[in-house]
Amino acid sequence: MDNQLSFTLNDQSICLSNVSPTMTLLEYLRTSGHIGTKEGCGDGDCGACTVALVSKGSDGKAHYQAVNSCLIPLGAVAGREVVTVEGIANGQLHPVQAAMVQTGGSQCGYCTPGFIMSMFAAYYEGKVDDISVEGNLCRCTGYLPIRRAAQAVTNANPTDHFSAKLEQVSPELPPLSYSGNHQQFFRPSTLSEALDLLQEYTHAMLVAGATDLGLEMSWHRQHYPIMISLEAVTELKGIEQTADYVEIGAAVPLSHIEDTLHGVFPSMDEMLHWFAARQVRNRATLGGNIGTASPIGDLPPVLLALDAQLKLVSKAGERIIPLANFFKGYRQTDLQPGEVIASIKIPKGLTSGAVRRISQSYKIGKRGTDDISIVAAAFTIDLDEQDRILHARLAYGGVAATPVRAIAVEEFLLGKSWSMETIQEAKPLLNEAFSPLTDLRGSADYRKRLIVNLFEKFFVEMSGMMTAEVHA
């Protein structure tokens, strides 16, 4: 067991002893004098704390990735390269800094370091755009000059110290076994090692991207004596695609899924677009989003509507279960002691006799992006040549203790025509399908209206697309 936690910060080697591995990177930066990185919300919403990590991209190469330092435990940055706003001016302003100066992109200045670091990471991808700064909020509403700054440095082909470093640094994460401040942090590199650790430390907290756990650490000051990180486990990081299915490793970051599977599942593409911000998607994993069993998780309704299956692995072997059987109650799952989610398998084939599949997802929150769902919904319908419904999946989040399907409505739809008449007949059943709660985000009545109206919206939008295809 190592008693030192090492990483690189702005090209300087950092070696820490007896520090808590669950201390957030933001807290370490602020207390060690790196105060350019700001604390805004503490929960990954505002982007003021954005820094860049050298991480493995979907292409297997090293990339700078913008992340929220308020959500990352120090244990997760061990062996990594970290870049903050203090480290990017190499004798002169970095091009993204210079662009912000030239366009007057800074007003009060509090959010500016976060914008700078998001743009910095995107600069080395050759595309600085609105998406690259979607996770950064400006209190002064100075977005126009910030957008102008982004436009001034987009499509860059940089050849500097930072681009050279990407060619020199390995993106692979080394294994880690660290003890400090009466806490232990393990980062195995193989599934066998992870299962051995989980068998030895039965009450350990499993972590991957740590975006959800980061809230518990930053807001609720939760103490976790033992943590096992799965983000370096090779067997959990692959994406396999065949003609019949897609299988996604549980530790694959959501941004990799965006890059690799775009266009395969339209409903997933749509929900990923609204899923938090780029900084969060660079860290959050599909397995983590499922494993938390949150009733308002964005992706479980999509996966339920696509009939996804989970591969669960332990020392005793593996088992395959439908995702619909995984959620057992509020924050409760079918995961047994010693088990981990290994992968998520999504079938691609149509129902027998079907000639067309229509599928889409919707997320309703208090703001358009970077917000928690009031209601999330995903729908999948398979139609035959006469537009009769052969297969129906209607899945929701935010309406019950778990992500859930409207099974009675699905059964009602089978064999009926895909028509407004059928939708109107289904609406009373949908209205009675769930008994949502009232909370600070929305009333039970409002949620019931959304349950019904989102399905009707789905019909209207998909029917419009089908008509457009016919006339094309």
Domain ranges of the chain: 4-168, 237-471
CATH architecture of 237-471: 2-Layer Sandwich (3.30)
Supply the angle between the helices 143-153 and 112-123 in degrees, to the nearest 10.
Answer: 20
Instruction: Report yes or no: 185 and 142 within 8 Å, Cβ to Cβ.
Output: no
The DSSP output letter for 85 is G
Residues 24, 69 contacting (CB under 8 angstroms): yes
Close Cβ partners of 443 (under 8 Å, ≥ 6 residues apart): none
User: Which element (helix H / strand E) includes 255?
Assistant: helix 254-261
Joined together, the tokens standing for residue 442 give 């929305």
Instruction: Establish how many alpha carbons lie within 13 A of residue 164's alpha carbon, considering only the half-sphere containing its beta carbon.
Output: 4
pTM of the model: 0.94
Asked if residue 71 lies in contact with residue 218, where contact means CB atoms within 8 angstroms, the answer is yes
Alpha-carbon distance of 241 to 259, in angstroms, equals 13
What are the structure tokens assigned to 236, written together? 């959990």
- What are the DSSP calls for 29-44, one per residue? HHHTT-TTSPPSSSSS
- pLDDT digit of tens for each residue in the chain (472 aa)? 788 999 999 999 999 999 999 999 999 999 999 999 999 998 888 999 999 999 999 999 999 999 999 999 999 999 999 999 999 998 899 999 999 999 999 989 999 999 999 999 999 999 999 989 999 999 898 899 999 999 999 988 899 999 999 999 999 999 999 999 999 999 999 999 999 999 999 999 999 998 887 777 666 667 789 999 999 999 999 999 999 999 999 999 999 999 999 999 999 999 999 988 899 999 999 999 999 999 999 999 999 999 999 999 999 999 999 999 999 999 999 999 999 999 999 999 999 999 999 999 999 998 777 788 999 999 999 999 999 999 999 999 999 999 999 999 999 999 999 999 999 999 999 999 999 999 988 999 999 999 999 999 999 999 977 665 654 5
What is d(CA 212, CA 289) in angstroms, rounded to the nearest whole number? 8
Residue found under tokens 């209607």: 394
Query: Encoding tokens for residue 55?
Result: 């991480």
State the Cα angle at 74 between 72 and 75, rounded to 5°.
105
Q: Beta strand pairing status for 239-241 and 245-249?
A: antiparallel
- Could you give the 3-state DSSP secondary structure of residue 55? strand
In sequence order, what are the beta bridge partners of 392?
Answer: 381
d(CA 322, CA 344) in angstroms, rounded, equals: 10
Partners of residue 447 on adjacent β-strands: none
Token readout for 278 is 């780029």
Residue 373, SS3 per DSSP: coil
Using CA atoms, how far apart are residues 470 and 192, in angstroms rounded to an integer? 53
CATH of 4-168, one of 3.30.110.40, 3.10.20.30, 3.30.420.40, 3.30.960.10: 3.10.20.30
Helices (H), 356-416: 407-413
Residue at token pair 């190592």:
2
The C-alpha atoms of residue 439 and residue 429 are separated, in whole angstroms, by 24
Q: Which residues are bridge partners to 346 per DSSP?
A: 246
Adjacent-strand bridge partners of 177: 186
Q: Report the b/e string of 64-96 with b at 16+ CB within 10 A.
A: bbbbbbbbbbbbbbbbbbbbbbebbeeeeebbb
